[in-house]
């Protein structure tokens, strides 16, 4: 009993210390991210809507920008068929959810962070073009806009006439920005404060900081408890001896549509428990709430399952490639 209490006290104490010192870094990072999103959010959405065949390139570069709601916006745009599936893949693969704030707070070297982000952008572009090319060869790349379905499903008060859009494709394209702006705003406002000015930015940054801090605290408790009971050397040796298992498991964790997934993967990588391949696999598929929004907005559930499965396979594939090539970030 005394041994259990000692371990519990030791784990809680270290977890609190490990979390507390991250708070200032997290808050400043989220403050900058929220300011960036408020200033560039509309331009970012417009850029990806009008990307056309270059969608995977635009999507990959915009996805890596630390705007935590962009994967959700992209999922809604895809559900309305305003962007291609390849563009959606590019965004999902380049997005890292909470990776960047965690890495910055933990003071990971900038060249390491840039290398990981660069790898995700390149993989996102490559896979995006491959997906679009496969659909083009299968003659399944030409799909009508489904903006009216979003309007009817979400009752989001589109300013465009959905019935008219359905009958006239040209009008549908003209109304796409209005309809998608309303619908993506509805999805996005669940995660962000939209008050004007610095008040909204501060509130959003504070909410994100508290939310992620709670996740980090509980995840750190679990991690420290495992390391205390099992032993860091034993766990590290197991992961080192089973790198393929780590890749498959990390990608599975990354699919969890919650910021806790990327927090777990980033923390385990920083602690040295996960190797570069497993970390890459998990963070490639960590699209945050984008997967949830896709499931809600795109009513073709078989298609959603296929997209999620393909995303998982993609993460595992590139994680195994990184292991085989002994890539170190």
For 5-34, write each residue's pLDDT tens digit. 666 776 787 777 767 777 887 788 777 777
Average pLDDT taken over every residue of the chain = 76
Query: Phi then psi for 192, rounded to 5 degrees?
Result: -135, 150
Give residue 84's region: left, alpha or beta (phi > 0; psi -120 to 50).
beta
Nearest CA-CA partner of 243 in 264, 274, 267: 274
Separation of alpha carbons 42 and 181, rounded Å: 9
C-alpha distance across the termini of the chain, in Å: 43
Residue whose entry in the numeric block shows the structure tokens 């907005």: 297
Average pLDDT over residues 295-306: 85
Task: Return the exposure string of 289-309: e unless at least 16 CB atoms fall within 10 Å of the residue's CB, then b.
Answer: bbbbbbbbbbeeeeebeebbe
Are 67 and 36 contacting, i.e. CB atoms less than 8 angstroms apart?
yes
For residue 247, pLDDT over 80 is answered with yes
Q: Please state the pTM of the whole predicted model.
A: 0.73
Nearest CA-CA partner of 296 in 150, 179, 180, 176: 150
Q: Of 37-46, 118-127, 156-165, 170-179, where does the model show the most confidence?
A: 118-127
Q: What is the pLDDT of residues 212-240, one digit of tens each?
A: 788 778 877 877 777 677 665 676 677 77
Are 80 and 91 contacting, i.e. CB atoms less than 8 angstroms apart?
no
Which residues, other chains included, contact 284 with Cβ-Cβ below 8 Å and sequence gap of 6+?
93, 120, 123, 251, 254, 314, 315, 318, 319
pLDDT for residue 323? 93
DSSP state of 51: -
Burial of 136 (0-12, 13-18, 19+ CB in 10 A): middle
């Amino acid at each position: 009993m005394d041994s259990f209490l000692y371990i519990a006290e030791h784990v809680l104490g270290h977890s609190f210390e490990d979390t507390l010192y991250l708070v200032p870094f997290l808050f400043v990072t989220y403050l900058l991210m929220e300011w960036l999103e408020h200033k560039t959010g509309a331009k970012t959405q417009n850029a990806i809507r009008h990307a056309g065949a270059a969608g995977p390139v635009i999507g990959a570069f915009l996805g890596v920008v630390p705007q935590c709601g962009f994967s959700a916006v992209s999922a809604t745009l895809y559900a309305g068929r305003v962007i291609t599936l390849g563009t959606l893949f590019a965004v999902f693969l380049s997005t890292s959810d909470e990776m960047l704030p965690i890495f910055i707070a933990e003071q990971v070297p900038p060249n390491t962070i840039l290398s990981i982000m660069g790898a995700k952008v390149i993989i996102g572009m490559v896979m995006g073009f491959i997906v679009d090319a496969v659909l083009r060869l299968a003659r399944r790349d030409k799909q009508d806009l489904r903006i009216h379905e979003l309007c009817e499903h979400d009752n989001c008060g589109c300013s465009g006439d959905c019935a008219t859009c359905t009958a006239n494709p040209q009008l549908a394209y003209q109304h796409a920005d209005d309809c998608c702006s309303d619908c993506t705003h509805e999805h996005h406002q669940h995660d962000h404060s939209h008050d004007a000015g610095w008040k909204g930015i501060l509130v959003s940054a504070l909410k994100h900081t508290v939310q992620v801090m709670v996740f980090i605290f509980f995840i750190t408790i679990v991690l420290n408890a495992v390391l205390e009971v099992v032993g860091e050397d034993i766990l590290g040796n197991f992961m080192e001896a089973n790198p393929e298992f780590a890749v498959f498991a990390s990608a599975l964790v990354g699919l969890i549509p919650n910021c806790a997934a990327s927090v777990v993967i980033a923390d385990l990588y920083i602690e040295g428990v996960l190797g570069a391949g497993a970390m890459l696999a998990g963070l490639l598929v960590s699209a945050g709430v984008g997967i949830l929004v896709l499931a809600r907005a795109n009513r073709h559930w078989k298609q959603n399952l296929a997209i999620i499965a393909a995303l998982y396979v993609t993460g595992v594939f590139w994680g195994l490639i990184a292991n085989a090539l002994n890539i170190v970030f």
